[in-house]
Amino acid sequence: MLSSASKMAAGVLHRGPDDAGAWADRDAGIALSHQRLSIIDLSPAGHQPMRSPCGRYVIVYNGEIYNHQDLRSDLERSGGSFDWRGHSDTETLLAALRHWGVRGTLERLNGMFAFAVWDATERTLFLARDRMGEKPLYYGRCGDTLLFGSELKALTVHPDWRGEVDRDALALYMRHNCVPAPWSIYRGVAKLPPAHFLVIRNGGRDVGEPICYWNLALVAENGAGAVVGEPEALTEELDILLRDAVKLRMAADVPLGAFLSGGFDSTTVAALMQVQSEQPVKTFSIGFFEESYDEAPHAKLVAGHLGTDHTEFYVTPEEALAVIPKLPAIYDEPFSDSSQIPTYLVSELARKHVTVSLSGDGGDELFCGYNRYVTGYRIWSKLRLLPRPVRSMLSAVFRYAPGHSLDALQRRLPRRFRVSNLADRLPKLADVLGHQDGQSFYRSLVSHAVNPGEFVLGADEPKTIIDYPDLLPDLPGLREQMMYLDMKTYLPDDILTKLDRASMAVSLEARVPLLDHRVVEFAWRVPMQYKYRNGEGKWLLRQVLSRYVPPELMNRPKKGFGVPIEHWLRGPLRDWAECLLDAKRLREQGFFDSVQIRRMWEEHVAGKGRWHFHLWDVLMFQAWLETSPASPYTG
């Protein structure tokens, strides 16, 4: 039992190369193991698994509790006796669980975390995950054994592991380019949803339903537009709140820095770090030689204004392509957001200098930043009024417009009139032109494959939250509904998954100040008129940033954090893709309709169709299947 647990921990060595530990109670049939990335209290006092002084509780935990010093003070004021052995947040968390219980502790935590705590007296195991889903947690039964861990690779090395590809989850993946919680790519293995905990009894045979301890739906519904105040007062309140969120995430006993793309979110985080630091903050950005994807020059200008210690690295196509073979092992299950490549590269760059890096993720969902909330919604609300034949004609034009022609046209326009990734956006607009109601419009926007059943054999696509509009909280309008759904799905399942796996693959801890739950709650109380204003999103966040960075420095078209997959598939990746998409191979594996896949591939190579996003979904599954240690080609 102990050796199996140690082997599972070794499977995620990259998440914590500084220390390792395992603990087991054979009579109770429980074993816990851990790999430590030392951030707070580098001494042996932070070793895990950690046992409470009374011996009742044992914990393994991944993440950071940013308010743990305040929690220590609260515990001491409560009159309890605490003989602290060190200053790690793990010890604080364990003491809090003893004193307040699981739910009482979770409601007090400000942090990112996934933990398992064993109560030896009650013979009960608790699993818990942070509010926004920054840290992952998988669990599932293999025979008589209940397995759980931060990544699937920890589960797959256990001797009892039996893996079967879940075709229904594969259909979800083809729609969303990731496998959304609570599903995983393996049948019988689940992801614990954000803001939930799980109670497990009877030797792992009694697994309860996940229990919600922080309800985003209520946060959104009760808070939507509740703040009444002048813009300057709201700006000041958000400034103070963001400063504190950033300051809390700057606590570390190791070097730390920040990712800096030069966009509003990452610039806000870097600016608030720099004004609270006595030394130049280390910032990192990567550049691409393809101009339409390159944000490094602007990031350099921003870093110069802020006075950060900036490092940039220009990535050649060969260096970016070299990341692709690593992706299946990094993500453990199919994941095809192509910005996974630059996210890994900037993490790799930062890890050469720091152990912790702050990231600007979350600003789009909180403050109405995505194009679908702004331009997409505005265009759709007008185009849907056109007669259906006209919309059908426009849809065909948008879908098949040649990407190279659009790129050439863009280059002839003044910069202020250019639309980022126009060639990729028009096919998506083509998909949504047929929808009359807001919910189906959103569903189409977030879908890669509109009908995954056309591609995945033997699948019955499960319903998710986006299929049940009646279950949504009562929100003022479609923009708010889209932002809520993105926070529930796209943010944890795609954005935060991408950030966690890419950073932890190189043993870098990434922290996300904008997702401090106090910031989330505040953002929902801000009326839409202070998020979307004058035809632009993130208005209130821009007001905060203008206190630190001149607005004229930030006025530029937004670029996506992506790579030119469309061109690579016709060029340097063509042979690799052809091998994975071989018709005989597809038929033998039996997961995809080989005729459909081959048609898309041949049309894409010939320049007759722009199927690169769909094909990248298939290719990332194929690459994962080829390297997965326990995924047979049938299931």
* Backbone phi, psi, residue 312, to 5°: -125, 155
Residue 467 structure tokens: 């299929």
Task: Give the whole-angstrom CA distance, residue 356 versus residue 367.
Answer: 25
**Contact assessment for residue 36 and residue 68, using Cβ atoms and an 8 Å cutoff:** no
Q: Check whether the bond before 180 is cis (ω within 30° of 0).
A: no
d(CA 280, CA 80): 41
What torsion do the CA atoms of 10, 14, 19, 20 make, to the nearest 10 degrees?
-20
What are the C-alpha distances in Å from 205 to residues 115, 158, 197, 407? Answer: 19, 18, 17, 57
Phi, psi of 117 (to 5 degrees): -130, 130
**Cβ-count burial 95-127 (b if 16+ within 10 Å, e if not):** bbbbebebeebbeebbbbbbbbbbbbeebebbb
Can you say whether residue 538 is alpha, beta or left, with left for phi > 0 and alpha for psi between -120 and 50 degrees?
A: left
Element (H, E) at 288: strand 282-288
**452, two tokens:** 């995954």
* Three-state SS at 573: coil
Q: Is the dihedral of CA 227, 233, 234, 240 positive or negative?
A: negative
Which residues, in sequence order, are CB contacts of 573 under 8 Å at separation 6+? 321, 324
Let me know how long the chain is: 635
Query: SS in 3 state form for 487-551?
Result: HHCHHHHHHHHHHHHHHHCCCCEEECHHHCHHHHHHHHHCCHHHCCECCECCHHHHHHHCCCCCH
Contact 46, 40 (CB under 8 A): yes
| Euclidean distance between CA atoms 502 and 504, whole angstroms | 6
Q: Which structure tokens are listed for 245?
A: 């969120």
Tokens in use for 55? 């011996």
590: left (phi over 0), alpha (psi -120 to 50) or beta: left
What lies within 8 Å, CB to CB, of 145 at 6+ separation is 158, 160, 204
Ramachandran class of 488: left when φ > 0, alpha when ψ lies in -120 to 50, beta otherwise: alpha
360 is known to lie in a ligand binding site: yes
Say if CB 447 and CB 431 are below 8 A apart.
yes
269, 360 in Cβ contact below 8 A? yes
Angle at Cα 111 formed by Cα 446 and Cα 106, nearest 5°? 100
| Contact present, 373 and 381 (Cβ < 8 Å) | no
**Rounded distance between C-alpha atoms, residue 4 and residue 489, angstroms:** 33
On whether 466 is known to bind a ligand per the annotation, the reply is no
Residue 395 is labelled as binding a ligand: no
- The answer to whether 244 is a known ligand-binding residue is no
Annotate 116-134 with DSSP letters as a single string: EEEETTTTEEEEEE-SS--
Give the residue numbers of the binding site for ATP: 286, 359-360
Give the residue numbers of the binding site: 89, 286, 359-360
Give the residue numbers of the binding site for L-glutamine: 89
